[in-house]
Chains A and B, each alone.
Chain A
Amino acid sequence: MSADVELSDVSVTFGSFYAAKNVNVKVNGGEFFSFLGPSGCGKTTLLRAISGFQEPSEGKVLIDNKDMSGIGPNKRPTALIFQNLALFPLMSVSENIAFSLEVRGVSKEERKKRADELLELIALEGQGEKKVHQLSGGQKQRVAIARALAVEPKVLLLDEPLSALDLKLRQRMRTELREIQKRVNITFIYITHDQGEALTMSDRIAVMNEGELEQIGKCDEVYNNPLTPFVATFVGENNPLYGKVTGIEGDKAQIETADGQYLAMMNDSKKLNIGDESIAFVRPESLFIPRDGDSFDNKIDVNIESFEFEGNLKNFYARLQSGAKIKFSVPNAIDTSSISSGSSIALGFDSSKSVILPKASLAID
């Protein structure tokens, strides 16, 4: 029942502005695929191109290997869940869910049967007669999903549907969405600016910036092996260390910064040469306070500035000698009472946990 979705060289322009530029993606049938990017990066435009509300200026959208150009949103095998859900306030929950069947001329009994089935799927049995405004935020969310699933679409498109919910509910809905996807087994294409959402739910992620795709890959791949400085800093947190390549050993490169030399992993596709301007990235959780017997190949001297307690983690903000800021996190279980603001300590990190990339702009600048 699921379908492949392929974007082939898709560009969408508004006047001279490129909302999306030469996007090539192939989403496999039955996959949970996320487009991740900051607001204004063109991810919603792509979603509208897939659902048919926006014809691409160039390129093609293929669903199930069929060219979708000229086919309206009501004729495509896709269903879209809107950011504001767009439930019909004048209809009851059941009427909302069965709307797509009603417009297709399905009989009343059958509509009711299908609505009841879907209410069961979203754990809202017996609440079909309620009005939309009587539901809580999470329930509305689930009704929107049920409404979209009523026609048995081959592809479900979700446009940041969780952004209006509070944290706890958002976390629960993540799991629920994932479960629903497994149960109905159709292609989910999910749009979000929240990397946590994308990482926890998706099979694969496409990271977008300013209308262009930066990287496509599995969650851990994107997180551990970013291809661009943008991805490195947008997905999770990363400390950039600016410098020049001074040596290459196999798949690792040596970088010379104002504060010393570090060794980091190179990407296969982003080969560096000696003398190239580059950035080494190390994640806050990869930096650790070395104890006797720890083996590591990079050492970094920092001056602690401030401290923040997050619960499971303790975050430290520090400065290098050059003045560059750096953040590191240690699990709450580790005793850090000896570290106080103003003290200087040495941190270690392993070269296999660090990535070196050609210099380019970061996500947070």
Chain B
Amino acid sequence: MMGIYIFIFFAYLFGPLIIMSITAFNSAEFPSITPWECFSFRWFNEGKIAYDGQHLAGLLSDWRLHDGIISSLIIGAGVVTLSVPIGMAAAIVLTQVRSQLRDIYYSISIMPVLFPGVIIGISTVVLWDRIAGLGGEGFISDIGRNGIFLTILAQTCFISTYCFLIFVARLQRFDQTQEEAALDLGASQTQVFFKILVPYLSPAIASAAVIAFLFSFENYNTTVFSILSDQTLTTVIASKVRLGISPALSALALTIIALTIIAAVTYEVLRRRAEKRYAESQEKFVKEKAADNRINKKYKAGFKIPKGITAILLIVVFATYGATQIVKNDLYGQSCIDAADKEKKSKFLEQLQTLESNELTDEELSGGSLGGNQDYGDIFGDPSLFQDFGGFD
């Protein structure tokens, strides 16, 4: 029962992502699984010049996407460098405030998270527009109308609060006598900060930086206002979706998902390895200390089937089925694409011919045998329909 529930839950969670990922490999112009046209990597590469001459850009050839990614990365880096120190400073101040002011200070500090992002975006633009207006033609005016700069500021407004919360959580477990001990041993306040507090906070610094970057990278509602004439990845995607979705977006999504999974897995592997090393050192230490060798007994680890194997098996089964279907029906490779294109082109030409054959002659447009009927011709399209029409009387 539990298993079924979990399966449904994960299907609900990951189903759309999986479907979307599959559409990235279909050569059709619209993201779809059925009808399956051809298996292809074109949406990761060049995309496609359509038979009608329209260029449908793939991931590699879409310069707007590339510009968007670059500005997203710049903004992300800027937001990290601003919000992490701001959040850390604010959290350290919180530990120094002892009176009733503490609650007020805390509430004010977390307030930016509660504001709608749209408001933060608009207000940043409004403020800097005024500031830029004051400065004449100089640096201030340039920077006040620079979308990337404004977006960094606007996002930092609320992302620094997330950093603040991370640091507060870590600082709550900080033993302040360590600071006192360092002071007592002759360290200056600066030395206490860099030698005691910063090393203690380093895990929080790392996670705050990651969180800040991710929040910045995926932010849309603040960015869409503050970015002005520039584009970030999110605004590019949003404007693309407005014009109609393309499998190139599926390809982008799949790339992002893959990068995320690789990063997460790498992190997890490194973490486990470090944990294991720590456990081993502890064990060694305990064994060294233990006089009797009761602890030194070796336990044979029984082989256990990892629980994740069912999920992997399921994916493998589906993938194999899909692949055999594709191979069996010869739905892959250049020949398939060429065939599909040829077919589409001929269909298109056919349609074109139909349209051409339906095209009206000048005589027909001017009313033909009925005469004097030009105005209706536009509205009713095919005047031949009205050939036997006796008129309105």
Contacts and interface: CB of A to CB of B under 8 A. Distances in A.
B181 interface: yes
A80 B199 contact: no
Nearest to A135: B285
A175 interface: no
Interface string B259-282: 000000000000000000000011
Contacts of B181: 80, 82, 86-88
Given A134-B285, A151-B186, A73 B180 contact: yes
A99 B186 CA distance: 9
Contact of A147 (B180, B185, B187): B185
B275 to A, nearest CB: 14
A88 B281 CA distance: 19
Given A74-B183, A74-B187, A78-B184, A103 B177 contact: no
Contacts of A102: 195
Contact of A103 (B187, B199, B289): B187
B178 interface: yes
Given A147-B185, A151-B186, A103 B195 contact: yes
Interface of A: 51-53, 72-75, 78-80, 82, 84, 86-88, 90, 99-100, 102-104, 134, 136, 147-148, 150-151
A79 B182 CA distance: 10
Interface in B111-165: none
B196 A100 contact: no
22 contacts: A72-B183, A73-B183, A74-B184, A75-B186, A78-B184, A79-B184, A79-B185, A80-B180, A80-B184, A82-B180, A86-B175, A86-B177, A88-B181, A88-B196, A90-B200, A100-B185, A100-B187, A103-B185, A134-B282, A136-B289, A151-B185, A151-B186
Residue among B186, B187, B281 with the highest chain A CB neighbour number at 10 A: B186
A92 to B, nearest CB: 12
A54 to B, nearest CB: 11
B200 to A, nearest CB: 7
B: contact size bracket: 20 to 34
A47 to B, nearest CB: 11
Contacts of A136: 289
A90 to B, nearest CB: 5
Contacts of B180: 53, 73, 80, 82, 86
B96 interface: no
B94 to A, nearest CB: 21
B207 interface: no
8 residue pairs, one from A and one from B, having the closest CB atoms: A86-B181, A100-B185, A86-B177, A103-B187, A80-B184, A73-B184, A103-B191, A74-B186
A99 B182 contact: yes
B188 interface: yes
B177 A82 contact: yes
Contacts of A80: 180-181, 184
Nearest to B185: A100
A74 B187 CA distance: 6
A103 B188 contact: yes
B249 to A, nearest CB: 45
B186 A86 contact: no
Contacts of A72: 183
Contacts of B281: 134
Contact of B188 (A74, A87, A88, A151): A74
Contacts of A84: 175, 177
B226 to A, nearest CB: 40
Contact of A51 (B184, B199, B200): B184
A282 to B, nearest CB: 43
A134 B285 CA distance: 7
Nearest to B196: A88
B186 A104 contact: yes
B178 A88 contact: yes
A99 B185 contact: yes
Nearest to A80: B184
A169 to B, nearest CB: 15
Interface string B173-212: 0010110111111111001000110011000000000000
A129 B185 CA distance: 21
Contacts of B191: 103
Contacts of A86: 175, 177-178, 180-181
Contacts of B185: 74, 79, 99-100, 103, 147-148, 150-151
B313 to A, nearest CB: 42
